[in-house]
Amino acid sequence: MLPDLERKILRVLYNFASQHHKMPTMHGLEIMTGRKSQQIKNALLMLEKERYIDWEDKSSLETIRIIEGWERGTEANKRPAPKVSAQYWTEY
């Protein structure tokens, strides 16, 4: 289970990237989380260590790649994949 700050940052990164097709800036993360940049960097390093994100160039948040957007073991990860059937498209 992720600590609150790490879980919050992971969700912010996932949602921001989904909506804006890029990663937020450090200033943006500070505003969205209400935390200082050093706390955010520590949380990002922990997310990288736990393999939720990949962060090659630590000087830029733009290089962050999300590996898992949800905390492991939560209901969001346990949802079954939607069933797609050809019947939907062929039967009226």
CB atoms within 10 A of CB 83: 6
Average pLDDT over residues 73-88: 61
Q: Higher-confidence residue: 91 or 81? A: 91
Fold of 4-71: Arc Repressor Mutant, subunit A (1.10.10)
DSSP label of 51 = T
Residue written as token pair 């960097």? 41
What is the model's pLDDT at position 64? 95
- Summarize pLDDT for 14-52 with one digit per residue, the tens: 999 999 999 999 999 999 999 999 999 999 999 999 999
